[in-house]
Structure 1
Amino acid sequence: MHLDHGHDHHGAVSADAHRPDGTRRALRIGLGGPVGSGKTATVAALCRALRDTLSLAVVTNDIYTREDAEFLLRNAVLPPERIQAVETGACPHTAIRDDISANLEAVEELEDTVGPLDLILVESGGDNLTATFSKGLVDAQIFVIDVAGGDDIPRKGGPGVTTADLLVVNKTDLAPHVGSDLDRMARDAAEQRGELPVAFTSLRAENGVAPVVDWVRAQLGAWTA
């Protein structure tokens, strides 16, 4: 379930998968992607879909603000104590890949204060196609792109597109308006990613986040098995 630079993702469990008392800690899933791709909206939709059946929390990352956390709070997707904001003060992927201490502290604090948790979502600040999460921070990564960014994004590749455990192509409802070819994006993504899954979403549609919810539930099933 960890990220690497190949396509071998068959349920590896991190070395620190348990709490000090021996119980299994929460599954940690990172969400990365370019600015405006819909990461925060995807996090919000996941929270609404999962909050009644799972104990979950969120860590957001912004460079100098708490904007993403405040969006989640305004929309009341989770109680305030289940949402932590990290101000990175630097390039977004620095805080999720290079110096993960602030994010790791936020994750562990959530486990201590509102746990036990089933799932923690860690949302990166908006970044480019190279953004990936450290294996020491998350157990699996979702990378979110959107059709308005151009239907050539899957073909361009980059670690986020090619190695994320799930690639989400968001805002499919905009495809006719921006001239993006969804079939082409699907073919290019499959060529870049091999057997790694791709989900197409439109969060404006009823239950439009369902493919991502199903994937998250499958990861949880493997994590707790």
Structure 2
Amino acid sequence: MPAEHEHTHPHPHDDPHAPLHNGERALRIGIGGPVGSGKTALVAALCRSLSEDLRIAVVTNDIYTTEDADFLLRNGVLPAERIRAVETGCCPHTAIRDDISANLDAIEELEESLGPLDVILVESGGDNLTATFSKGLIDQQIFVVDVAGGDKVPRKGGPGVTSADLLVINKTDLAPLVGADLGVMARDAAARRGDLPTVFLSLVEDRTAAPVQDWIRSLVR
């Protein structure tokens, strides 16, 4: 038994895996964030817009279901052979940071079956503000929050908000309905993130997710 007060849960900044090797391979982008923040809708929008000229595939993570992969398939954003579903059977962050083997296997299967790819999106299951991806799994991390949680979310920080390579503040169209001040969110995000970029998005108003799409394209180039 662990001693009283002993911390046994991995710290979100601890990464037990060596970073990915550089070379001729697909850019791997992790997309994480709380439940309901709009991760799967963002993935769907990116698949539609990026697949026009890039070779793209997706790995989704759910605890006990393939719900997110099924959503992508129903909406026809990519052919079925370009989507893999991982049932983690555990806390979502475990499969993207601590034991990444199932996700690595899914990526390997995609690469072997499809040939060379430009981008692989890895969507985490819904998690909290501590969710971070291992650099042994992905190259860049997008973290998605939404204004429905209130304009205090960026101020609360957490590794997902403060250290993600791109922070997406989603569902801006809901701001007037929930009394969220986007100016406050922009100010607090800048204070927490320094020079790391933050974008505001409404997939109701922009179905191509233009600012996120542009950011990914800049990395591929």
- Say yes or no: TM over 0.5: yes
Q: Which residue of 2 aligns with 1:8?
A: none
The answer to whether the Cα contact below 8 Å between 2:32 and 2:126 also exists between their aligned partners in 1 is yes
Query: What TM-score results when the alignment is normalised by the length of structure 2?
Result: 0.91
Alignment of 1:105-144 (within 5 A): 105-144=105-144
1:67 paired with 2:72, answer: no
Task: Give the structure 2 partner of residue 94 of structure 1.
Answer: 94
> Does the residue aligned with 1:44 lie in a helix, a strand or coil?
helix
**Quick one: which amino acid aligns to residue 16 of structure 1?**
H
- SS in structure 2 opposite 1:116? coil
How far off is 1:115 after superposition?
2.0
Report deviation, 1:208: 5.4
SS at match of 1:199: strand
1:142 touches 1:165 (CA, 8 Å); kept in 2?
A: yes
| Distance of 1:208 and 1:189 partners within structure 2 | 23
Change beyond 3 A, Cα 1:208–1:171: farther
**CA deviation profile, 1:185-209 (whole Å, cap 9, x unmatched):** 0000000000000010000113451
Return closer, same or farther for 1:200/1:159 CA change in 2, 3 Å cut-off: same
Residues matched between the structures, number: 205
Residue identity in the other structure for 2:48: R
- Identify which of 10, 16, 23 aligns with 2:21: 16
Unmatched segments (≥5 aa) in structure 1: 6-13, 19-23
* Distance in 2 of aligned mates of 1:134 and 1:15: 9
AA paired with 1:172?
A: T
Q: How far apart are residue 150 of structure 1 and its match?
A: 1.2
* Superposed CA RMSD: 1.2
CA–CA distance in structure 2, aligned partners of residues 56 and 205 of structure 1: 24
Aligned pair 1:165/2:170, yes or no? no
Which SS does the other structure have where 1:122 is aligned?
strand
> Unpaired runs of 5+ in structure 2?
1-11, 14-18
Counterpart CA distance in 2 for 1:54 and 1:123 is: 18
* CA deviation string 1:169-189 (max 9, x = no partner): 000000000010000000000
Shift of 1:40: 0.2
Map 1:189-200 → 2, pairs under 5 A: 189-200=189-200
* Aligned 8 A contact 1:32 1:127 in 2: yes
Q: Aligned partners of 1:76, 1:40: CA distance in 2, in Å?
A: 13
Q: TM-score, normalised on structure 1?
A: 0.89
Say if 1:47 and 1:77, in contact at 8 Å, map to a contact too.
yes
CA–CA distance in 2 between the matches of 1:72 and 1:153? 28
Secondary structure at 1:110's aligned position in 2?
Answer: helix
CA offsets 1:141-190 (integer angstroms, 9 cap, x no match): 00000000111000000000000000000000000000100000000000
8 Å CA contact 1:169, 1:201 repeated in 2: yes
CA distance in 2, matches of 1:220, 1:130: 27
SS in 2 for 1:136: coil
For the residue of structure 2 that corresponds to 1:129, the secondary structure is coil
Residue 31 of structure 1 corresponds to 31
2: distance between equivalents of 1:149 and 1:107? 32
Whether the aligned pair in 1 keeps the contact of 2:30 and 2:133 (CA below 8 Å) is yes
After superposition, where does 1:200-219 map in structure 2 within 5 Å?
200-207=200-207, 209-219=209-219
Query: Residue 3 of structure 2 corresponds to which residue in structure 1?
Result: none
